[in-house]
Amino acid sequence: MKITEVRKCQKRALQYLRKAHLVYTPEEARHIEVADMGLGMIEQFGLEVLVYENNDRYCAKKLVLFPRQTCPEHRHPPMDEQNAGKRETFRCRWGVVYLYIEGPPVRRTKAIVPKSRKEHFTVFHEIVLKPGDQCTIPPNTLHWFQAGPGGAVVSEFSSSSHDETDVFTDPLIHRLPVTEQ
Amino acid sequence: MKITEVRKCQKRALQYLRKAHLVYTPEEARHIEVADMGLGMIEQFGLEVLVYENNDRYCAKKLVLFPRQTCPEHRHPPMDEQNAGKRETFRCRWGVVYLYIEGPPVRRTKAIVPKSRKEHFTVFHEIVLKPGDQCTIPPNTLHWFQAGPGGAVVSEFSSSSHDETDVFTDPLIHRLPVTEQ
């Protein structure tokens, strides 16, 4: 992504954080990660991430999703024998999120499955998260999520986060964090 | 604590959560923990806790402190050889918190050290947390904190939480969670 586009997405993400009444430092604002997953279609695929804390034991982030923006299907594999892979809890703070995990599928998803990469969405057990709702995703479990038509802000609480080890269903995806440092 | 008093504190804690624009479910509201630490002086000593998630890997809570309410000095000792003791990150969401940890002491604390149990406060390295500020406390490190004159709401992100194993400096304290179940 071009740095001008990253900055534009960061600014827009801050608007959503403010809508959710979240407070951030200027330093944090500058380091919001804009993750387009290497697909180059940030409006459709990706998310914006503000990391509060990430250490070898736990992690806390805020995720911003623009309207209908989709975090593509992926799982968090075991890191080694000591680490079962990332477990994570999503808690909706603002807007609506449609979350899909392994399990009995819905017939018609509330999310709009992006046509261009449709074949790389394979799990359709639907969980709708509105403000105050939360869901914990076990390690190594396929999941993807999309904001409703108004966008969303989500708190993510988890074990230690190592995004670079995420396994995406779509072979075109590579998870390279892009921030303005 | 009498159940009527617990309910009163829960209601009051909810007012602060709303001031911080936090959203909670009715179920969560009913389970807010009112911890008076066994001292029976909840206005002075204790805090109100809303647990979002606590599992064997990580924990996320919201802490409410009434004006000048103090969480007494304590540390989180190692659980066993595998677990170094709880590490925790406090992030101020609303109001002001005066946090004290081991380290070079201030001459005059912004917190008002409660006279009645004064001898049980021994660390005075001061960190002032305003909305958006955060601080991570290592395991087994003495700390205590007090809200400013307007009260405070704090996010706590941590490794797994086992409050019952906390070691308090004040021998009168016993950490028995009291919630309306």
pLDDT of residue B79: 85
Q: What is the gyration radius of the CA atoms in chain B, in angstroms?
A: 15
The per-residue pLDDT for range A122-138, each reduced to its tens digit, is: 999 999 999 999 999 99
Task: Say what the pLDDT of residue B175 is.
Answer: 67
Residues 6+ apart with CB under 8 A from B144: B70, B71, B72, B73, B74, B99, B100, B121, B123
Q: Which of B53, B134, B159 has the CB atom closest to A136's CB atom? A: B53
Cβ–Cβ of B89/A25 closer than 8 Å? no
Distance from CA of A141 to the nearest CA of B (A): 17
Per-residue pLDDT of A1-33, as tens digits, reads 899 999 999 999 999 999 999 999 999 999 999
The answer, yes or no, to whether residue A45 has pLDDT greater than 60, is yes
Pairing, β B47-54 against β A88-101: unpaired
Long-range contact pairs involving B52-57 (C-beta distance under 8 Å, separation at least 24) = B52/A89, B52/A91, B52/A134, B52/A155, B52/A157, B52/B28, B53/A89, B53/A91, B53/A134, B53/A136, B53/A157, B54/B160, B54/B161, B55/A87, B55/A136, B55/B160, B56/B160, B57/A57, B57/A58, B57/A87, B57/A159, B57/B159, B57/B160
Give B23 or A178, the one with higher predicted confidence. Answer: B23
Residues of chain B below pLDDT 70: 175-181
**Residue B6 to residues B1, B13, B31, B123: CA-CA distances in angstroms?**
7, 10, 11, 30
ipTM strictly over 0.90? yes
Alpha helix locations (H) across chain B? Answer: 3-19, 26-30
Residue A180 has pLDDT above 60, yes or no: no
> pLDDT of A148-161, one tens digit each?
999 999 999 999 99
* B28–A contact, CB cutoff 8 A: yes
Mean pLDDT of all residues in A60-81? 95
How high is the pLDDT of residue A75?
97
Tell me, yes or no, if A83 comes closer than 8 A to chain B by beta carbon. no
Partner residue facing B21 (CB), from A21, A55, A57: A21
- Residues of A whose CB is below 8 A from B159: 57-58
Residue scoring higher pLDDT (B143 or A79):
B143
Chain mean position to CA B68:
12
Cβ-Cβ pairs closer than 8 A, A with B, add up to: 73
In this structure, what DSSP letter does residue A106 have? P
What is the reported pLDDT for B180?
Answer: 46
pLDDT of residue A174: 77
> Encoding tokens for residue A8?
């534009």
Give chain A's mean pLDDT: 94
A81 close to B (CB below 8 A): no
Asked whether residue A179 carries a pLDDT value surpassing 60, the answer given is no
